[in-house]
A and B are shown apart, each in its own frame.
Chain A
Amino acid sequence: MVVIARSGARRWVSSADTAAVTAGVRVGMAAAKAQALFCGLMMVDADPVADAKALQRLSLWALKIYSPVVAVDGADGIVLDTEGADHLQGGEAMMISGIANRFRPKGLTARVAIADTWGAAHACARTISRETVIVPAGQTVKAVERLPISRLRLPEKTVSDLRTLGFRTLGELSATPRAPLALRFGPEIGRRLDQMFGRVSEPIDPVRTPDLIVVSRSFAEPIGAAETIDKYVGRLVVELVEKLQERGLGIRRADLLVEKVDGTRQAIRAGTAKPARDIAWLTKLFRDRTEKIEPGFGIEKLSLAAVMAEPLEETQSVSTLVDDTDRDITPLIDIFGNRGHRVYRYAAVASDVPERSVRRIAATAADVLETWTLHWPRPTRLLAHPDPIDVIALLPDQPPVSFTWRGKRRRVKRADGPERVFGEWWKRDSESAAVRDYFTLEDEAGERFWVFRSGDGENLETGSHRWFLHGIFA
């Protein structure tokens, strides 16, 4: 299957699926030639207007979820400024694999790249064969030098002329003296190269929906002092909250867009765990991070947009004579979350295998009533990977007499056990016979440890009969 685009009287292949590519169809080929190559080729007419609309919708979706600054990039992509926004998705790697995963169930293939500049990310995303790539900060030159010159966002005519001159890769082009190139092709090549390597800035003009709630303030004189920024952020929050109040909405995600005198933009995104319309809470979230703003030569305009808002109804607070209700700590959790820390609670899982008996849940999740069934003491610290230890013990079910852990031999004075833990054969086939025997050991100095023997001590099928230290008791 191929998509046929029309330019003038010429009909050419603008994209082809994998089956067509294996049959020899190439992008840019004339439609008639493609048809001749492969009998029964399905041809669909390209619809640039619908494509552009879909891309616009896609960018609005990305604006809501991923980044405050999103724009349509060319005819086939969107560009996001993710600086200061990736922490809400758990970091850059998590974010881009998340983006790719969201497209896959729809039958679409997305190529996602993160780089220092728009130009570099544009080139990488269109060249890579993998789904995602992250170009580490400061390594743009290394990442793009092997890419073809067609990725430089130049007019097609220039690209083909450069090819005629023998240029193949961006590395070759950037190593060539500028003056002769500029004389022949104009300043465009130099500009694109500089944009790619971050030598000149290339601000992204963000898309906005008409129903987006935005408040902004322009300054006659550029501002730069931290206190001034704080003051105006505070005022913007008040204005935004008023607007939200009219509509009965609460913020889930808000963006502070800083426009500077030199035409660059910086965005700060803050998320909340539940809809919020509290002035103090929101001000705190932004003020906490205004130190990240680099005013440069001065700030011309500050705008605050509620990108994601959810209905929030006023609720009457329950007043009791016995003041025993816990204060809501969601604002505190939001502060930690926006700083990029991992915030969670532990909850019980019905599993006898110690490392599987706890799971992390969101800090704002509803209370879990289920708890651990605690017949035996459990160690305060649990090693992420059980440490192998050398043990002298009588098989099958006597506790060790002594053991050596981290180079120190300890004689066991008192011991409890075994506590047998069976593998979860109903979940994992590999554990159908697995057994661990846990012992609590106390050495002569009174230090208490949780060790286990993999296997029941008789049957080698149940485990390797090696000993491990798994936890440390208080």
Chain B
Amino acid sequence: MTAARAQVLTELRDRIATLERSVPRQAGWLPFGVVAIDAVLPGGGLARGALHEIAGGGSGTVDGAAAALFAAGIAARTKGKVVWCLTRPDLFFPALAQVGLDANRVVFVEVDREEDVLASMEEGLSHGGLGAVVGELVRLPMTASRRLQLAAEKSGTLGLVVRRWRRQTEANDFGQPTASTTRWRVSVLPSVALPVPGVGRPQWFLELMRVKSGECAEFTVGACDAQGRIHLSADAADRSHPSRRSGYSA
């Protein structure tokens, strides 16, 4: 009985998957290497050939530091060149090199207007053969995100959007629906306590706010290491900073 039910469910899932996209996805997935996180993501990792949105929490909505580093960590674990489109060139590359991103792999495209970021990202995503395409955006309308998602699906390139607003109040925009496959929020947490005075390994509060055919989840993780990997914090149960969490969840 249960076996039959499981089979029916698998068949239904397959049918829905084929209905959702005309071409079957072959790009595969990029696992985080953290069992708890990979388990909640369908396919066991971040889907290649899809668009993923990352935003900061708190003042990270404006500076986008943690979001950019999280994206850099993901890009570092891909193969091939990375195209990074932005309007505000305030990234400090040594920090990105510290999470394992090779400076020779990253081509920056600095543009004057938001729309050009979208156009450049789409160009990069549809070019194919890139490891990842990262864009720093204030607004991501539904239509634009749909175009990016389709371009990513076509070429199998990983698309990452770092959302970064001018003001913290504008970050409500993150509740608007987009066509991206996953949506993350990365907020900074106090670093791991050291036995001596000093700043320990940074920790992030990682919220998976939306994932297609999956469930939301939240994790306390240690920030990217020298290979761009995150890891679950030992004191994951410690949620001493509920105030930093969002007022809404997708």
Contact = CB atoms under 8 A, between A and B. Distances in A.
A471 interface: yes
Contact of B110 (A344, A379, A445): A344
A346 B97 CA distance: 10
B189 A446 contact: yes
A474 B107 contact: no
Contact of B92 (A333, A341, A347, A471): A471
B197 A415 contact: yes
Contacts, number: 163
Interface string B51-68: 000000011000111101
A371 B109 CA distance: 21
Contacts of A471: 92
B145 interface: no
Interface residues of B, number: 55
A332 interface: yes
Contacts of B91: 380-382
A444 B189 CA distance: 9
B112 to A, nearest CB: 8
B94 A329 contact: no
B241 to A, nearest CB: 7
A422 interface: no
B197 A332 contact: no
A383 interface: yes
A346 B91 CA distance: 10
B81 interface: yes
Contact of B191 (A341, A367, A446): A446
A341 B83 CA distance: 13
B214 interface: no
Nearest to B108: A344
B98 A378 contact: yes
A448 interface: yes
Give the one of B68, B72, B108, B128 with max A CB within 10 A.
B108
Interface string A360-387: 0001000110011010011111111000
Nearest to A288: B123
Nearest to B124: A332
A410 to B, nearest CB: 10
Contact of A346 (B69, B106, B120, B127): B106
A345 B188 CA distance: 28
A368 B109 CA distance: 19
A368 B103 contact: yes
Most buried by A among B58, B128, B188: B188
Contacts of A110: none
Given A327-B129, A368-B103, A379-B95, A474 B66 contact: yes
Contacts of A357: 94
A474 B191 contact: no
B97 A345 contact: no
A458 interface: no
Given A471-B92, A472-B63, A336 B81 contact: no
Q: Tell me the dominant secondary structure on chain B's binding face.
A: mixed
A320 to B, nearest CB: 15
Nearest to B64: A381
A374 B128 CA distance: 32
Contact of B198 (A363, A378, A414): A414
A348 interface: yes
Contact of B63 (A377, A381, A444): A381
B104 A345 contact: yes
A329 B103 contact: no
B65 A415 contact: no
Nearest to B188: A446
Contacts of B64: 381
A339 B188 contact: no
A444 B244 CA distance: 12
Contacts of B110: 341-344
Interface string B210-250: 00000000000001000000000000000001001000000
Nearest to B97: A372
Contacts of A343: 107-110
Contacts of B23: none
Nearest to B126: A332
Interface centre among A333, A414, A415 (most CB of B within 10 A): A414
A378 B94 contact: yes
B68 A381 contact: yes
A329 B107 contact: yes
Contact of A474 (B68, B108, B129): B68
Nearest to A382: B92
A440 B201 CA distance: 12
B74 to A, nearest CB: 13
A336 B130 CA distance: 15
A473 B103 contact: no
A315 B47 CA distance: 36
A416 interface: yes
B75 interface: no
A472 B188 CA distance: 11
Contact of B223 (A341, A347, A472, A474): A474
B116 interface: yes
B44 interface: no
A134 interface: no
Interface string A318-332: 000000101101011
Q: Which 6 A-B pairs give the minimum distances between C-beta atoms?
A: A327-B129, A474-B69, A382-B92, A446-B190, A474-B66, A380-B65
17 contacts: A326-B129, A329-B127, A331-B127, A332-B130, A333-B107, A343-B110, A346-B93, A354-B94, A357-B94, A381-B63, A415-B197, A416-B198, A442-B199, A445-B241, A445-B244, A474-B69, A474-B204
Given A358-B93, A474-B186, 10 more contacts: A329-B83, A357-B94, A368-B103, A378-B95, A380-B92, A381-B68, A381-B90, A382-B92, A441-B199, A448-B188
Interface of B: 58-59, 63-66, 68-70, 72, 79-81, 83, 90-98, 103-104, 106-111, 116, 119-120, 123-124, 127-130, 186, 188-191, 197-200, 202-204, 223, 241, 244
Interface of A: 324, 326-327, 329, 331-333, 335-336, 339, 341-348, 354, 357-358, 363, 367-368, 371-372, 374, 377-384, 413-416, 440-442, 444-448, 471-474
